[in-house]
Amino acid sequence: MYTSFEQVKREIENGKTVEDITRNYLETIKEKESLNAFLEVFDQDAIEQAKKVDEKLKNNTAGKLAGMVIGLKDNICYKGHAVSASSKILENFESLYSATVVERLLEEDAVIIGRLNCDEFAMGSSNEHSAYGAVKNPHDQNRVPGGSSGGSAAAVAAGLCLATLGSDTGGSIRQPASFCGVVGLKPTYGRVSRWGLIAYGSSLDQIGPLTNTVEDSALILEVIAGSDQKDSTASTKKTDAYSTASKFEGKVKIAVIKETFETDGLDPEIKKNLEERIESLKEQGHTVDYVSLDILDKLVPTYYVLSNAEASSNLSRYDGMRYGYRSERAEDLESTYVKSRTEGFGTEVKRRIMLGTFVLSAGYYDAYYSKAQKVRRIIREKTDEMLRDYDFILSPTTPKTAFEFGANDNDPVSMYLEDIFTVHSNLAGTPAISIPAGFHSNGMPYGLQIMAGSFEEKKLLGFARTLTE
Amino acid sequence: MEVNDELVDKIAALAKLEFKGEEKEAIKGDMQRILNFIDKLGEVDTEGVEPLVYMTDETLKLRADEVDQEISQDEALRNAPDKDSDYFKVPKVLKK
């Protein structure tokens, strides 16, 4: 099992072919099928692509991802391949084009090995909301891998491929990365094109990598980041050479939000780990201050109002007409809509569409939707201000380690509260990374989250490298 | 704010969804719990604060509006639940 791209490249120098490496991964995927991480393995295509890359390596014309075997979350389009957002409503749907991120990966000669299970339409924190069964956590198969990019995190942790892409609307890359003990990066809003990403919350969604190392994360970001004619929300700001982000030499100023420690249900071991980390950073000469963000407990409610409103709008396109599932009981226009959507969407997706429709409906728009947008402005201003005074904001990625299947079945709100530390950067638009922080006495890994100012990925990755080495 | 059958029916009609029997009871309970949770937003003083609508400070640039035939008719029909050689087929819209 390879744990870094550096290692893969050394093996290639020593005579291994990309085809060998790809075949190895295909075998591992078969051996660990019970994890349910992959919805589909593109075995033939992957091997063909690997052969092409081997040819290029021979001719010294290979791109910078030659030898990297990557899996895609099942909401990222790849031309000629199925993509379902883990939903019944898109069962048998085949994408007619590739996401910009996929094109960029292929241009640099990555091998795309398959599509990875996730919560339906990326809505969930446990992967229990996939129409194709939950993914299991490789560290303990009785526990969830996190979500919604649960398959993406589990695949990296179990060595089913070297890296994966996920999407992060409220923590969907970082929370599963934390639960599975891998590195997960949510870039700045607009840093990576979303052309070809199945939309959930358009003012929040970002695509990002899940990897074993910070270096691999930086390299993938370097390849996928940048402006795109096809996505007007993709920033035209210059990208950095993220992969050359070196370890941080200087001293930094770090903010820790005081209210983090008052969070209900914050695990004592995770709390202690963070306190120890703070002490050691101080000993190394960094400045760490406790600062207040008194609206920390309003982050999740704000997030749920906005993300559900956007989801209800984005998911209105699934109407049973031109693509996707159509109910056999569809008899006229209205029943085609209603029956197809009611039968095609799962419980959690319907719950969110209902709530989103409610907060956007006449009479409630101002009290909920507009109100949440105002609170969001306050959150962003306070966060930007904090990140003008400090280089980074440090927190646990999640209040707890991965929970057991079914633990949050009876109360959607308790599941939503899993996202308390991660939704912050989606609401503020800032980049954030989860790096492995350690193991709990229950045997499960958990992550440390670092947030930086918008478009400061290079600094963020540099500091993350310092902390992981 | 209380979630009752009437509200669930109204929102479901807007969302083009249908809830019956147990499912209706479940969504009613869930919506009530979630609403109680998001009602917390009322505690924040937002007097004089403008809603944050766009997440980017950059001026969005339009690309040139050029015809670019990327998808053929055949491809466009490929994922249709029902079709003939040229058209999407849908259930009858007008009744006699």
Six token digits for residue A430 = 């800032």
Q: Which residues pair with A210 in a beta bridge?
A: A164, A184
Q: Which residues of B touch A373 (CB under 8 A)?
A: 51-53
pLDDT tens digits, one per residue of A55-75: 999 999 999 999 999 999 999
Six token digits for residue A290 = 């406790």
Query: What's the CATH number of domain A5-244, 1.20.120.1460, 3.90.1300.10, 3.40.50.300, 3.30.70.1090?
Result: 3.90.1300.10
* Cβ–Cβ below 8 Å for B17 and A235: no
* pLDDT band of B96, cuts 50, 70, 90: low
Is A86 labeled as catalytic in the residue annotation?
no
Judged on CB neighbours under 10 Å (0-12, 13-18, 19+), B40 is: middle
Q: Which among A100, A104, A381, A121 has a CA at the least distance from the CA of A234?
A: A100
Q: Which residue of B has its CA nearest to A303?
A: B38
The domain ranges of chain A are 5-244, 302-366
Q: Which residues pair with A448 in a beta bridge?
A: A396, A435
CB < 8 Å from A in window 63-82 of B:
63, 70-71, 75-76, 78-82
Is A172 labeled as catalytic in the residue annotation?
yes
Q: What is the mean pLDDT of residues A276-287?
A: 97
- Show the DSSP H helices in chain B as ranges: 5-15, 21-38, 73-78
CATH class of the structural domain B5-43: mainly alpha
- Secondary structure string (H, E, C) spanning A202-233: CCCCEEEEEECCHHHHHHHHHHHECCCCCCCC
Is A73 labeled as catalytic in the residue annotation?
yes
Exposure string for A318-353, b = 16+ CB within 10 A, e = fewer: bbbbebbbbbeebeebebbbbbbbbbbbbebbbbbb
Q: What is the pLDDT of residue B28?
A: 97
Residue A244: CB atoms within 10 Å: 13
* pLDDT band of A137, cuts 50, 70, 90: very high
Question: Looking at A73, A136, A186, A459, which residue is catalytic?
Answer: A73
Q: What angle do CA A225, A125, A93 make, to 5 degrees?
A: 65
Q: What is the mean pLDDT of residues B50-79?
A: 89
In degrees and rounded to multiples of 5, residue A452 shows phi and psi of: -130, 175
Percentage of chain A lying above the pLDDT 90 cut: 95
* pLDDT band of B35, cuts 50, 70, 90: very high
Q: Which residues of B touch A368 (CB under 8 A)?
A: 38, 41
Q: Choose among A326, A370, A412: nearest Cβ to B82.
A: A326
Looking at this protein, which amino acid is placed at residue A182? V
Q: Is A439 on the interface with B (CB under 8 A)?
A: no
Q: Which residues pair with A183 in a beta bridge?
A: A211
Cα distance between residue A17 and residue A5, in whole Å = 14
* Cβ–Cβ below 8 Å for A298 and B34: no
- Secondary structure string (H, E, C) spanning A266-329: CCHHHHHHHHHHHHHHHHCCCEEEEECCCCHHHHHHHHHHHHHHHHHHHHHHCCCCCCCCCCCC
In degrees and rounded to multiples of 5, residue A127 shows phi and psi of: 70, 5
* Cβ–Cβ below 8 Å for A333 and B76: no
Exposure string for A376-405, b = 16+ CB within 10 A, e = fewer: bbbbbebbeebbeebbbbbbbbbbbbbbeb
pLDDT tens digits, one per residue of A390-446: 999 999 999 999 999 999 877 778 888 889 999 999 999 999 999 999 999 999 999
Question: Looking at A172, A193, A235, A434, which residue is catalytic?
Answer: A172
Cα distance between residue A69 and residue A80, in whole Å = 19
Pairing of strands A38-41, A445-451: unpaired
Q: Is B86 on the interface with A (CB under 8 A)?
A: no
* Mutation target among A375, A376, A423 for the B interface, most CBs of B within 10 A: A375
Q: What is the mean pLDDT of residues A275-286?
A: 96
Length, in residues, of chain A: 469
**Is residue B40 a contact partner of residue A367, using CB atoms and an 8 Å limit?**
no
Q: Which residues of B touch A88 (CB under 8 A)?
A: none
Beta strands in A326-404 (DSSP E): 392-396
Distance from A337 to chain B by nearest Cα, in Å?
6
How many angstroms from the chain centroid is the CA of residue A61? 31
Mean pLDDT score across all residues of chain A? 96
Q: What angle do CA A167, A153, A94 make, to 5 degrees?
A: 55
Q: What is the pLDDT of residue B56?
A: 86
- List, edge to edge, every strand of the sheet that includes A392-396: A38-41, A111-116, A69-73, A163-168, A206-211, A183-186, A432-439, A445-451, A392-396, A253-257, A287-291
The number of CA neighbours under 13 Å toward the Cβ of A57 is: 22
Residue B69: CB atoms within 10 Å: 6
pLDDT tens digits, one per residue of A355-387: 999 999 999 999 999 999 999 999 999 999 999
Q: Which residues of A touch B82 (CB under 8 A)?
A: 326
Instruction: Check pLDDT > 90 for residue A129.
Output: yes
Cα distance between residue A428 and residue A378, in whole Å = 9
CB < 8 Å from B in window 326-355 of A:
326, 330-339, 341-342, 345, 347, 350-351, 353-355
Sign, Cα dihedral of A290, A188, A299, A448: negative
How many angstroms from the chain centroid is the CA of residue A228? 20
Instruction: Check pLDDT > 90 for residue A284.
Output: yes
